[in-house]
Structure 1
């Protein structure tokens, strides 16, 4: 604990006074002992001197001095880091629904696992956060605008449908537009509410072909960075995932759909966000738990003087009671 952890650190100077009191008590006790030893008639001394309490006679003073030390620290206003739920923030959950999400390398398949974990994520967020939902394949759609109604989000997650292609950049742009719309509606502040995009995908962007295209994923991530909207990306799946594609003639072909970690990691880096990987439902839930902590709470400095105050009062009271019990007077 440093001086920066106190609201009024100069009160700590009073500890010097407490230490001086302790030193003064010790010196006075030694002086009394020397004066007592000068009494040459020991038989008479035993008759007139009060009953000796031994070292316990110093207990009341020690307790009171310790109490003063704790009370002094309390006066200095110690602070500590405290987790405070966010009540004014926006989160856009963006879920890939391209055909590759049908792969069964994650049981029962990628989409079903993503739906189950997504609903748990919605339930776990602190109540004051506005949560929205975007689904994307070849295009992106806002299924639920940011709201504190978790049932609406979970209902929309249950209704996700697979489609062709992957437009990652379009999904990010759509999520940012939804965040901007909510910010304009809320108003009332100099700065927009803090926001974050949580993007879950398993494959490489296919629309447009280049992520640096004006509507590409990297371009969208750079714009998110300028708006101070970090993107937490989750690469969901394995390197050995496959899907069966049936053409117009009824022929079925097994197509590999490995996850694309590099592009999702780059999107997170460009937006000052975080990159995660998950290859099972349990791992995805763990990622969401981490995000809930990051998004749902903020760390602030709060008052931590109460324990010091309680300890100081109790020690001081114990010193007074002990003095009255042992000596029938205060020290």
Structure 2
């Protein structure tokens, strides 16, 4: 429920009624003074005390004062106050892009980077608001569209469970694949309001190795990030893992430290946000934050209901107190 606050009014001209309310208040004060002067015309005040009914004092003014307050509250309600409210998005597209290179087998994040990433990604998918169309891309040496944007969370969760590790890291190709998937989906669902807003959520633990680790290659990560910025599709990056990660490849232990800098640069170039997750719990918190940002938006919504309720209650209180105190309506 909204509080008694507002950020604007949709029909402020209704406040002109407050002039009428002010005139009513002035008229009431004037009538009370006239009544007092008429009473003072009696020269025999002792006789007046015997024949006149007992005066109620200040309490007799309670019903009209409460009535004026009710009129002010109801006028505010009719002026259409609005307040900022977080509401679920009814249309948006999100591509979840997950690194499945061999470095994701590292166990610096328990039970492994990949298993923890799968659990957190499924929670993220299931927690998104119903109006979000979610797609999934996995990437290692190449990028694969596992699920095109859809509101069917079960298909995304199943695809996340089926992620398998492979060699190399083609981060740029993954971003380009996400952009292409979003563009294709927008052509199908875009209507009079245009394409729905879109975002890419990229989770990776290491540097790009395909085509090279140089992100400025025409098919590299930094080039793809600039293309995302030009398309007004920000890339939120999650740098996942620790500097102590290692995997065993062909019987040899190989260090696979997380690469924060490249992930941070991708987010900055695309206009997105950078997040770091060095544990499963941190990854869950990052996804929760993204779910809040992506799934909800702040809008000015109607806030007249509490004003209308209080105005009505005040009017009823004015009527009840008038009957109780003066045996008549105000």
State the TM-score, normalizing by the size of structure 2: 0.93
1:184 aligns with 2:187: yes
Q: CA, structure 1 residues 166+221, in 2 after alignment: closer, same or farther (shift >3 Å)?
A: same
Aligned residue runs from structure 1 range 153-192, under 5 A: 153-189=156-192, 191-192=194-195
Cα distance in 2, alignment partners of residues 289 and 3 from structure 1? 29
Deviation at 1:34, TM superposition (A): 4.9
**C-alpha contact (below 8 Å) 1:169/1:211 kept by paired residues:** yes
**C-alpha contact (below 8 Å) 1:18/1:65 kept by paired residues:** yes
1:328 aligns with 2:314: no
Cα distance in 2, alignment partners of residues 160 and 4 from structure 1? 47
1:81 aligns with 2:84: yes
Q: Which residue of 1 aligns with 2:134?
A: 131
Deviation at 1:196, TM superposition (A): 0.9
Deviation at 1:35, TM superposition (A): 4.5
Cα distance in 1, alignment partners of residues 6 and 249 from structure 2? 65
1:256 aligns with 2:255: yes
**C-alpha contact (below 8 Å) 1:3/1:9 kept by paired residues:** no
Cα distance in 1, alignment partners of residues 304 and 182 from structure 2? 39
Deviation at 1:13, TM superposition (A): 3.2
Q: CA, structure 1 residues 256+19, in 2 after alignment: closer, same or farther (shift >3 Å)?
A: farther
Cα distance in 1, alignment partners of residues 172 and 270 from structure 2? 13
Equivalences, count: 326
SS in 2 for 1:291: helix
User: Structure 1 unaligned runs (5+)?
Assistant: none
SS in 2 for 1:122: helix
State the TM-score, normalizing by the size of structure 1: 0.92
Cα distance in 2, alignment partners of residues 127 and 201 from structure 1? 26
1:214 to 191, 210, 218: 218
1:291 aligns with 2:290: yes
| Pairwise CA RMSD | 1.9
Cα distance in 1, alignment partners of residues 193 and 43 from structure 2? 84
Deviation at 1:186, TM superposition (A): 2.3
Deviation at 1:200, TM superposition (A): 0.5
Cα distance in 1, alignment partners of residues 40 and 319 from structure 2? 29
Deviation at 1:278, TM superposition (A): 1.1
Deviation at 1:178, TM superposition (A): 0.9
43-52 or 163-172, larger mean C-alpha shift? 43-52
Cα distance in 1, alignment partners of residues 44 and 120 from structure 2? 88
1:317 aligns with 2:320: no
Q: Which residue of 1 aligns with 2:208?
A: 205
**C-alpha contact (below 8 Å) 2:6/2:303 kept by paired residues:** no
1:223 to 224, 227, 230: 227
SS in 1 for 2:165: coil
Deviation at 1:208, TM superposition (A): 2.0
User: Structure 2 unaligned runs (5+)?
Assistant: none
**C-alpha contact (below 8 Å) 1:172/1:220 kept by paired residues:** yes
